[in-house]
Amino acid sequence: MYDQISSNKFRSGVLIVVFMSLVALVGWVFGRFTGFGNWGLAIALAIALVMAWSSYWYSDKLVLAISHARPVGKETEPYIVNTVEGLAIAAGLPVPAAYVIDDPAPNAFATGRDPEHAAIAVTTGLIQKMDRLELEGVIAHELSHVKNYDTLVSTLVVVLAGTIALLSDWMLRSFWWGGGRRRSNDGGGEFGAVFVVAGLVLAILAPLVAVLIQMAISRKREYLADANGALLTRYPPGLASALRKITNDPSPLRVANKATAALYIENPLRDHGGRINALFDTHPPIEERIKRLEAM
C-alpha cells in the first residue's frame, strides 16, 4: 500500500511538470505564430495565473453552488457530521464543513483549496443506501483528497487545460485570419512554412494531449485516495463495497455536469457518451479500483 501511495504521488508530480511544460511550449509557439514574440509566453502564463488565482479563492463556493449542496450541522445531520468529524480527527485534519445534496444517486465529493478551507458533500442517496462501514470508506476517501491537496491539484490541472485550449483556439483563428501566412512570409522560405505547419499541428493536438494528461493525473489521484482511505479506516472492504454499490446504482445524479463530474468519488456521467467518452474518463475503471482494495 505504501509503495502504491509513493508511486502515485511521484507520477502525479511528473505529470504536472509535463503539463506546465506543455503550457509554456504552446505559449511560446503562440507568440511566434501570431507575431507576439516572447509576449506569447508571457500572455500564456498571465492567463494561467489569473485563472488559477480566481479558482484558488472561489472554486469551492462555485462547485457547491452548482451542485445545490446545503450546509448541515449536528442538529440536522448528526450522523454525517459526527462521521466526518471522527475520521478527520483520526487523519489529523481540521474538520471540514459538511454538505448534503438532495439527490437519490449515491455519490460524494470534496472541495476546498487546503485542509483548513475544505468541504465534503454527500448525497442523500449515499446516506440512505450505505451501511456504516461503507459510508466511512467513502468519507475517508474524500478526506484523503483533502489531506493530499488533490482538490488544489485538480483546480490547477483544470486551469492549465483551459489555458492550452484557449491559446490553441487563438492560434487556429490567427491562421485563418492570415497570421500564419504572414508568419510564413516573415520567417523566410521553407523554415517559415515548416514552423506554420508545426504550429497548426500543435494547436490541434495540444488540447487533446492536455485532456489525456488531465485524465492521467485524475486517475492517479483516485487510486491514491482509495489507498489512503483504506489506510485511514483500516478496512478496505468497506470502500470496495461502497464503490460497487455506487456503480451499480441506476439512479442518475441530476446535479452532475462535465465541469464537476471529475470531483465525485465515481464519475456520475459514466453512462453518457459511450465507449469513446469512456476513453477520456477521469476515473479509473471501477473494477480495477475494487480489485486493488480487495488485494490490500
pLDDT of residue 13: 66
| Distance from C-alpha of 22 to C-alpha of 48, rounded to nearest angstrom | 12
Quick one: pLDDT band at residue 194, thresholds 50, 70, 90? Answer: low
Domain count, the chain: 1
pLDDT band, residue 9 (cuts 50/70/90): low
pLDDT at 11: 61
Q: How confident is the model at residue 196 (pLDDT cuts 50, 70, 90)?
A: low
- Taking every pair of Cα atoms in the chain, the longest distance, rounded to a whole number of angstroms, is 74
Quote the pTM value: 0.76
- How many Cα atoms are found within 13 Å in the side-chain-facing hemisphere of 73? 1
- pLDDT for the residue 195: 61
pLDDT band at 78 (very low <50, low <70, confident <90, very high): very high
Active site residue 142: yes
Q: pLDDT value at position 179?
A: 52
Cβ neighbors of 19 (< 8 A, separation 6 or more) are 157, 160, 161, 210, 213, 214, 217
Residue 186 has pLDDT above 60, yes or no: no
Q: What is the pLDDT of residues 37-73, one digit of tens each?
A: 677 778 777 877 777 777 778 778 888 998 999 999 9
- pLDDT at site 230: 93
Report the Cα–Cα distance between both ends of the chain, in Å, rounded: 7
Write out the three cell numbers for 180.
Answer: 500564419
Whether 275 shows a pLDDT value over 80: the answer reads: no
pLDDT band at 25 (very low <50, low <70, confident <90, very high): confident
12: confidence class by pLDDT, cuts 50, 70, 90:
low
Residues in the chain: 296
CA–CA gap between residue 171 and residue 162 (Å, rounded): 14
Catalytic residue among 77, 136, 142, 266: 142
Asked whether residue 4 carries a pLDDT value surpassing 70, the answer given is no
pLDDT at 27: 77
pLDDT of 272 reads 52
Contacts of 58 (CB under 8 A, 6+ apart): none
pLDDT for residue 41: 73
Query: 276: domain range?
Result: 2-294
